[in-house]
Amino acid sequence: MSRAEDSAHTIERMLAIKALPLFSDVHPDELAIVAEHAQVRRFRRGETLFSSTETPLTSIHLVLEGRVAEHRGGRLFRMHGPQQVVGGIDALALADADVAAVAEEETSTLVIERADLRDVLEDNFGVLSATLQAVAAANLRMRRHLVPSAGFAEHADEGPDDPPLLQDLGARIAFVRGHPWLRHASIRTLGQIARDADLVVLPDRERLWAEGDPADHAVLIVRGVVVCATADDRQRFEGGRGAILGLEEALAMSARWCGAVTRGPVSLLRITRAAVLDALEDDPDTALGTLAALASVASQLRDHIARDTVGEAGQL
């Protein structure tokens, strides 16, 4: 292939990638880097794009033409058409999910390997932040399908130990480090997040936010319980010590999808979306870990929906 032909194909791949909403605002230079790692593949009707029962999931497919059926747990989960991504969530999550994708008709896809995408994300925060936003938004869509828990684990009562006071930076770092998403973060990043967080003490029945409010921050609960519920009360769940609330809608740059009210006195660390993104931009390893954690949650939510609402997954 000549250099001119290769350049033309790269531009075609860039245009296909830019058509995805998550990449619509990404700088063309960064899109070009993604496009350089992507290859067009074609599949006959009935051919398998990937299957986790055969090999670990390593490929992410953007459907260009045709239709792809995604199966989870051996059952049809949803159909994917042009300009939809197949396998991205599970590949990014390094998930153990039982998932397969099969071409329903003659199909072409733009495929990028997970290792290549991670290299791109590590060096290009514009692409990484767009991917974080897209995965967080996907989680919010899926949570609305899960009634009444929205996919959150049942809140466990606090133990007898006194909660940390978190008056000094060292205590805050130790507490923040206990969250699974930040367990492997560098001390520098933990310190930046802990330093930028505000310690807030709230009385009983204090509203943190209402459904529809702008989501510009997340909270990490230090003590007490926060009750979250949608306006129609179809979904209701609680968060206790160590739970982080509001991060998905903050990263998705979305409005609050449910209200949040304290039950009894509550203390929490409040951190803005801007502070989270600043910390992640300075630490690519933690940023990739956060993306993997979000994708892992997304994979689990998809499995949950596949079990409960087979064939009704819509545009998840």
Mean pLDDT, to the nearest integer, of 51-65? 88
CA geometry: angle at 74 spanning 70 and 75, to 5°?
65
The residue extents of the domains of the chain are: 3-123, 151-282
What is the CB-side half-sphere exposure of residue 264 using CA atoms within 13 A?
A: 10
What is the CB-side half-sphere exposure of residue 80 using CA atoms within 13 A?
A: 26
**Cβ neighbourhood burial of 49 (10 Å; 0-12, 13-18, 19+):** buried
The yes-or-no answer to whether 3-123 and 151-282 have a common fold is yes
Residue 125 has pLDDT above 60, yes or no: yes
Domain 151-282 has CATH 3.40.50.300: no
Residue 226 token pair: 């926060």
Mean pLDDT, to the nearest integer, of 138-149? 93
CA 19 → CA 12, 62, 69, 100, 110, distances in Å? 11, 11, 21, 25, 12
pLDDT single digits (tens) 168-217: 888 899 899 888 778 778 899 999 999 999 999 999 999 999 999 999 99
Model pTM above 0.85: yes
Residue 75 has pLDDT above 80, yes or no: yes
- Chain length of the chain: 316
For tokens 């991917």, the residue is 131
CATH of domain 3-123: 2.60.120.10
4-13, 40-49, 191-200, 243-252: range with lowest mean pLDDT: 4-13
Strand, coil or helix: 131: helix
Mean pLDDT of the chain: 87
Mean pLDDT, to the nearest integer, of 219-239? 95
